[in-house]
Amino acid sequence: MELLSGADMIARFLQDEGIEYIYGYPGGAALHIYDALFRQDKVKHILVRHEQAATHAADGYARASGKPGCVLVTSGPGATNAVTGIATAYMDSIPMVVLCGQVASHLIGEDAFQETDIVGVTRPIVKHSFSIRHPSEIPEVLKKAFYLASTGRPGPVVVDIPKDMTAPTERYEYVYPKKVKMRSYNPVTRGHTGQIKKAVEMMLKAKRPVFYTGGGVVTGKASEGLTDLVKQLGYPITTTLMGIGAYPQSDRQCLGWLGMHGSYESNMAMHHADLIIAIGARFDDRVTNSTSKFCPTAKIIHVDVDPSSISKTVRADVPIVGPASSVINEMISLVQGHKIAHPEALTEWWEKIDGWRADREGKLYEPSKVGEALKPQEVIEALCRVTRGEAYVTTDVGQHQMFAAQYYKFDKPNRLITSGGLGTMGFGFPAAMGIKQNYPDDDVVCVTGEGSFQMMMQELSTCKQYGVGVKIVNLNNASLGMVRQWQDLNYKSRHAHSYMESLPDFHMLIEAYGFTAITVNTLDELEPALERAFADKHELVFLDVKVDPFEHVYPMQVPLGAMRDMLLSKTERT
């Protein structure tokens, strides 16, 4: 029988659970835990410079690997600084366990120094939360936390740990729990066979079908099965922002992604479809536009592991509750040996789609001319060429995020790492940091803007301490680009507080942290600068790329319209 203190139980549990990195920032309520981590060498603690960065780094790792990320913060401001990162993970269904120090049990409710009811604060933005009531329950609670975070619809779990629960003087029996029993939590492991049969019958009879797939395919590790199914049927497929890469974007059947800034052909195909096969997507407002005008001629099959997502915003004709992977595999077995009912209609449908594609050929943006500022689209296309489309690409939020999603072609899942639901500026850099530490021999690049980067740029210090060689491509238009775009379109170009009038000299700033910076002003400088940046996988390089400050992201859906209602440029609309 092994007797351990609560703090040592936490350290031992993380070892037994196979956690390699934990991201955090120390403080009084968590010091017993920090001391326990110091006395072992299997779990590596990464000292960030702000707790929000800890959550984003763990989140980035989780998105890239599919395994839960792990965070350790102290009570009060340490815990509240983590809230934005917890909400980011919650909105995108990312598995994460956040261990929060808390004031000693007898002080809870006394407004003690650095006390915050973090369970109460985070209740709306976690999958579940726990508060430790006795040291002996720590192994079981932590096992439940990791199980909850990573099964069913994944999400963040908060564990609140009062300081006296980790006191080194009190020791209890430690046993690593290999199994979890939770009477009230039984995530589904497969879909209803009758509903799946009904869905497949509809799929085979459809004349204008479209697959609409989301982040649930990526987190559900169902990309291979999805590719199989789509190939067998020969149907067009479009993805959400979170689902990018679940199906190879370079394949002819992929129409790109859909919604607010999705491709012209994907939005048009969705609007005119007679059957939408939605898998692991939640009909977010950034996809549907006005739900009353959404896909008016389409029947809808909706597959989701979370029953509360089905028919929440758009009514499903055939609802299927189940994990994407098992439902898709069952669909594949039912489709095999059957022919589609209307092959001639499918041929016509593809002719229509190819016509929409041809309409936009060569019209996506105006390339820069000699002496003009670079177009951000050109930067992303060059980045894709230099990295051969194989990098892990994280983004912050704004125009650069949309350009990265539009012009970098992802053929693998888990490669575009971006904050979709919450839209968190500051996410990209620490997320890249978390990925690079776990995949040191891969190219990891953060595509950012000067607004977003300044929110988390202190993490350059973390990268210096741990030798984290991410690449940072700053699309510098000296403004909050997406805010400015909306102001151009809706506020007669009244740019209220969207211009960054006082920016640092990024070149000097990066060098002050001890890293390499390259400033790019023209198109002929761009590709050599990118080649230089990616020459050494283990060196942090910052590219400050000066881009056209007046460029907009198109297509752009017309607010409150149907999916087909889009602005195609500053002068064209559908």
Model confidence band, residue 362 (pLDDT cutoffs 50, 70, 90): confident
Containing 264, the helix (H) or strand (E) segment is helix 264-272
Helix or strand or coil: residue 192? coil
Render 344-376 in DSSP notation, one character per residue.
Answer: HHHHHHHHHHHHHHHHHTT-S--PPPTTSPBPH
| Domains identified in the chain, total number | 3
Mark whether 381 and 352 lie in a shared domain: no
pLDDT tens digits, 493-538: 999 999 988 999 999 999 999 999 999 999 999 999 999 999 999 9
Return all residues near 443 (Cβ < 8 A) that are at least 6 apart: 387, 390, 391, 392, 471, 534, 537
For residue 370, pLDDT beyond 90: no
- Residue 391 identity (one-letter amino acid): A
Report yes or no on 300 lying in a domain.
yes
445 contacts 473 by C-beta, under 8 angstroms: yes
Distance CA 65, CA 73 (A): 22
pLDDT tens digits, 415-438: 999 999 999 999 999 999 999 999
Q: Please say if 13 is a catalytic residue.
A: no
Mark whether 142 and 239 lie in a shared domain: no
Q: What is the pTM of this model?
A: 0.97
Report yes or no on 566 lying in a domain.
no
Q: Please say if 485 is a catalytic residue.
A: no
Residue where a domain stops, chosen among 358, 389, 420: 358
Report yes or no on 558 lying in a domain.
no
Pairing mode of beta strands 254-257, 237-239: parallel
Name the catalytic one among 127, 143, 163, 471: 163
Report yes or no on 247 lying in a domain.
yes
Task: Report the chain's mean pLDDT, rounded to a whole number.
Answer: 97
Percent of residues, the chain, with pLDDT higher than 90: 97
Supply the range of the domain harboring residue 505. 374-552
Mark whether 354 and 379 lie in a shared domain: no
Report yes or no on 384 lying in a domain.
yes
Mark whether 65 and 197 lie in a shared domain: no
Name the catalytic one among 2, 40, 42, 113: 113
Mark whether 476 and 354 lie in a shared domain: no
Tell me what pLDDT residue 219 has: 96
Return all residues near 198 (Cβ < 8 A) that are at least 6 apart: 318
Buried b (16+ CB within 10 A) or exposed e, 71-85: bbbbbbebbbbbbbb
Residue where a domain stops, chosen among 104, 138, 171: 171
Q: Which of 287, 148, 152 has the alpha carbon at shortest distance from 210?
A: 287
Residue where a domain stops, chosen among 141, 171, 201: 171
The DSSP 8-state label assigned to residue 468 in this structure reads -
Name the catalytic one among 51, 115, 381, 450: 51
Tell me the longest C-alpha to C-alpha distance in the chain. Answer: 77
| Location of structure tokens 């594949």 | 332
Q: Please say if 572 is a catalytic residue.
A: no
Mark whether 293 and 149 lie in a shared domain: no
Report yes or no on 564 lying in a domain.
no
Q: Please say if 114 is a catalytic residue.
A: yes
- Residue 112 identity (one-letter amino acid): A
Q: Mean of the pLDDT values across residues 446-469?
A: 98
Distance CA 316, CA 321 (A): 11
Q: Mean of the pLDDT values across residues 231-238?
A: 97
Report yes or no on 221 lying in a domain.
yes
Report yes or no on 183 lying in a domain.
no
Q: Mean of the pLDDT values across residues 35-54?
A: 98
Tell me what pLDDT residue 189 has: 94
315 contacts 292 by C-beta, under 8 angstroms: no
Mark whether 160 and 202 lie in a shared domain: no
Mark whether 232 and 345 lie in a shared domain: yes
For residue 441, pLDDT beyond 90: yes
Distance CA 352, CA 563 (A): 16
Q: Mean of the pLDDT values across residues 463-467?
A: 98
pLDDT tens digits, 164-179: 999 999 999 999 999 9
Q: Mark out the alpha helices in 412-470 (DSSP H runs).
A: 428-438, 450-456, 460-466
Q: Which of 5, 37, 26 has the alpha carbon at shortest distance from 114?
A: 26
How distant, in Å, are the alpha carbons of 34, 35, 72 from that of 27?
Answer: 9, 11, 10
For residue 281, pLDDT beyond 90: yes
Name the catalytic one among 242, 268, 270, 482: 482
Name the catalytic one among 15, 20, 67, 114: 114
Mark whether 524 and 383 lie in a shared domain: yes
259 contacts 240 by C-beta, under 8 angstroms: yes
Containing 156, the helix (H) or strand (E) segment is strand 156-162
Mark whether 264 and 407 lie in a shared domain: no
pLDDT tens digits, 58-81: 999 999 999 999 999 999 999 999
Pairing mode of beta strands 516-520, 44-47: unpaired
For residue 308, pLDDT beyond 90: yes
Distance CA 321, CA 310 (A): 8
Q: What is the CATH number of the domain that holds 70?
A: 3.40.50.970
Mark whether 195 and 55 lie in a shared domain: no
Mark whether 354 and 378 lie in a shared domain: no
For residue 22, pLDDT beyond 90: yes
Q: Please say if 482 is a catalytic residue.
A: yes
Tell me what pLDDT residue 238 has: 98
